[in-house]
Structure 1
């Protein structure tokens, strides 16, 4: 075997090994943190009856969202997803920390929930049902012809007339 053929064979083997390792790296899982990044030490330091809104903000930061109705509650939502290339992400870890406050702004409770509380919804069809009548394309397109400025429509005379 000549030197040129040995060199060519080694280059071909090296190229194949490099290509195979690049292909394997492309199939690895992609991990993404979404929302609040959990720090167990900080979360466990929030104590009911001791902390208030200012100390919770100083410890945990601003919440992901707050309650709009009922008791004042701050929610810290954290998810870790994993996915392979060209595939929808799947939730690997999920945690919601709900910090409840009384009227004075003091912490009443700090409750956690996890992946067991997640509900997966399956939409029913491609359309959202709405109230009202169904209109065809042409009714939508030409439905307002003759409506603007018609007698009794209240428009067309200008403001204040």
Structure 2
């Protein structure tokens, strides 16, 4: 009997120890990097006023994001996310390199921004207003019943 109790205690301790180790391992910080930003050495190869879109694409690469209006620029974005346990992932670092071009396609400016340079952008939601004023589906359905006439159901001959 004492042998069985001793074995159960040992099994309980080992289970408790392994459970604690698994809990600690699950709470390890994991960093994930997304995107690509050219290094300072790669950006040094780009000359403002001389290089064009094609030469930038050759030397640095084509970005995933470019200017929406008139292809005004290239935007290289890199984000570092921190995952810790069961908590929501947080952005801990973000780099953005913006290369703007003139109308003729020549490099006009090169700028680098970080997460500290960012500012919140308020989105303007434009929602189409409904012509229905405080009417439920059932009220609309019942309201249309009076608009039917038997003459509209018969074909014209």
TM-score (norm 1): 0.64
Once the 2 structures are TM-superposed, how far is the Cα of residue 73 of structure 1 from its aligned partner?
Answer: 1.4
CA positional deviation for 1:19: 2.5
Q: Higher helix share goes to which structure?
A: 2
Deviations 1:30-89 (A, max 9, x none): 32223x223414344333234221122223322232223378111112111112233222
The 1:5–1:130 alpha-carbon spacing in structure 2 relative to 1, beyond 3 Å, is closer
Name the residue aligned to 1:68. Answer: 68
Unaligned runs of 5+ residues in structure 2 are 149-154
Q: What SS does the corresponding residue of 1:105 show, helix, strand or coil?
A: coil
Q: Give SS of 2:54's match.
A: helix
Give me the CA root mean square deviation: 3.9
Q: In structure 2, do the counterparts of structure 1 residues 17 and 44 end up closer, same or farther at CA, with 3 Å as the change threshold?
A: farther
Is the 1:71–1:100 Cα contact (8 Å) retained in structure 2? no
- Residue 112 of structure 1 deviates from its aligned partner by 0.7
1:105 match: 105
Q: Paired residue for 1:119?
A: 119
Structure 1 residues 109, 146: CA separation in 2 closer, same or farther (over 3 Å shift)? same
Matching of residue 38 in structure 1 with residue 46 in structure 2: no
For 2:140, the equivalent position in structure 1 comes to 143
State the shift of 1:97 in Å: 0.7
The match for 1:94 is 94
- Shift of the 129–74 alpha-carbon distance from structure 1 to 2, 3 Å rule, reads closer
User: Which consecutive unaligned segments of at least 5 residues does structure 1 have?
Assistant: 151-156
Aligned residues: 144
